[in-house]
Amino acid sequence: MKLNAFLVKYAEIGIKGKNRHIFEDALVSQIRNAIEPIADFQIRKEPGRIFLEAKEDYDYDEVVEALQKVFGIVGICPVLIEPNFEWDNLVQTTIKYVEEQYENKNFTFKVSARRSNKGYEKDSMEIGRDMGGELLDKFPELSVDVHNPEVDLKIEIRSKAYIYSKTIKGAGGLPVGTNGKAMLLLSGGIDSPVAGYMIAKRGVKIDATYFHAPPYTSERAKQKVVDLAKLVSKYSGKINLNVVNFTDIQLAIYEKCPHEQLTIIMRRYMMKIAEQLAEKSNCQALVTGESIGQVASQTIYSLGVTNEVCNLPVFRPCIGMDKQEIVDISEQINTYETSIQPFEDCCTIFVAKHPVTKPTLKSIQRSEEKLADVIDGLMEEALNTVETIVIR
Ligand code: ATP
Ligand code: MG
């Protein structure tokens, strides 16, 4: 017996007052995006929840896995829909449901019945009581506990009968698309994919920018970033990934600026370029994977100097996290294995032996003056040659 529907529960979005329908519509649309490529379901909104009903056979695990990546969902209940709810048949179906769903019948339960179909032969009380009795007769190992049951078996009689009792945990958060859009600076490391995931989880749509430095960084390094964007997009939905050719800017900085300041200056130009791309694609913020103190370029002083070039707010969801905490999330969202592939990135090649940890804005700006006659042209060139890859 295959469960032929899902009931989707959401929490946070239920409390948004008159914006509620916006959140619900966004959630339905995100569910549709996640499900449509893999299965044919009818999706419909009902007060406080969303129903998905299979129109044809589908891969249960695949659908559950896809739903677990949709932000805004707190719980996914697999449902058995029985169109023939004439009492004797409903009893047989419910027995079969319990039989198959619970291998070990040694649990406490109650039956919670609801009847929106007022013409039904029994009222809610009777359905609950009588079905409970039928189940006890069939499975003597069961026992009833109406206050604190291990299994709360729901039976709802509408135009069909709905039977369900299990809830699979959802991803939480808010549906993507309900909180604007941000530009993620996506490197091949562990942190930035996690940062993108965390921002998307709060309902923010994301695009991404990767700074590529061929031939110092290889095609494989770029492919790794594409792969990471793909993994993040399973949660965030479509990502436009901008690949910026950063080689000439990096070489100019390397040639003209003090080496202990390389990373900071490079970061500042990354931020400037990312901000221009962000504005072009209507983003309201930038996102990075930075975390205080992780490396020299992420001391509170370095972050301050980097931040100074941006007008848009820069969100750093990993800012207060230890590396291990970031790793834990990357494992959970399945980006870790890709992130640790050993392809060089542009920061590792042009890195100084003794980078500054307490840069001052003045000293960095003074060094940047040495780029004055070339940098505008190089920035323009970098912006004009951006390659945009659509990641789904
Ligand atoms: P890890 O610390 O695991 O290497 P990371 O590459 O994300 O991860 P850093 O190299 O410390 O971390 O860079 C800090 C942040 O700057 C990144 O999280 C990312 O947002 C941004 N960044 C760094 N290099 C690039 C790049 N080549 N392209 C785009 N963004 C980058
Ligand atoms: Mg990092």
pTM of the model: 0.92
Residue 387 contacts residue 226 (beta carbons within 8 Å): no
pLDDT tens string 70-79: 999 999 999 9
- What structural domains does the chain harbor? 5-169 (3.30.2130.30), 181-391 (3.40.50.620)
> How far is 261 from 352, CA to CA, in rounded Å?
8
User: With a 6 A CB cut-off, is 193 part of the ligand 1 pocket?
Assistant: no
The verdict on the CB of residue 82 being under 6 Å from ligand 1 is no
Provide, rounded to the nearest whole percent, the portion of the chain with pLDDT above 90.
87
- pLDDT exceeds 70 at position 1: yes
Ligand 1 touching residue 374 (CB < 6 A) = no
Pocket probe mutation, ligand 1, options 183, 184, 185, max atoms within 8 Å of Cβ:
185
120 with 87: CB under 8 angstroms?
A: no
pLDDT value at 14 more than 60 = no
List, for residues 101-153, the tens digit of each pLDDT value. Answer: 999 999 999 999 999 888 889 999 999 999 999 999 999 999 999 999 999 99
- Which strands form 387-391's sheet, in the order they lie side by side? 314-315, 285-287, 181-185, 205-212, 239-245, 387-391
* CB of residue 347 inside a 6 A radius of ligand 1: yes
Work out the pLDDT band at 16, boundaries 50, 70, 90: low
* 167-187 tens-digit pLDDT: 999 999 999 999 999 999 999
Q: Mean pLDDT, to the nearest integer, of 1-10?
A: 91
Q: What is the pLDDT of residue 349?
A: 63
The pLDDT tens digits of the residues spanning 242-280 come to: 999 999 999 999 999 999 999 999 999 999 999 999 999
- pLDDT tens digits, 34-69: 999 999 999 999 877 899 999 999 999 999 999 999
State the distance from the centre of ligand 2 to the C-alpha of 148, rounded, in angstroms: 46
Does the C-beta of 271 come closer than 6 Å to ligand 1?
Answer: no
The predicted structure's pLDDT at residue 382: 98
Return mean pLDDT, the chain.
94
Query: What is the distance between the alpha carbons of residues 359 and 304, in angstroms, rounded to a whole number?
Result: 9
Does 210 sit in the ligand 1 pocket, CB within 6 Å? yes
Lowest-confidence region among 47-51, 91-95, 256-260, 323-327: 47-51
Cβ(295) – ligand 1 distance below 6 Å? yes
Q: What pLDDT score does 295 carry?
A: 85
Q: Ligand 2 mean position to 170 CA, how many Å?
A: 28
Ligand 1: centre distance to CA 185 (Å): 7
Give me the percent of the chain exceeding a pLDDT of 70: 97
Answer whether 287's CB lies under 8 Å from 316's CB.
yes
Q: Say yes or no to pLDDT of 226 above 60.
A: yes
**Count of CB atoms situated within 10 Å of the CB of 392:** 11
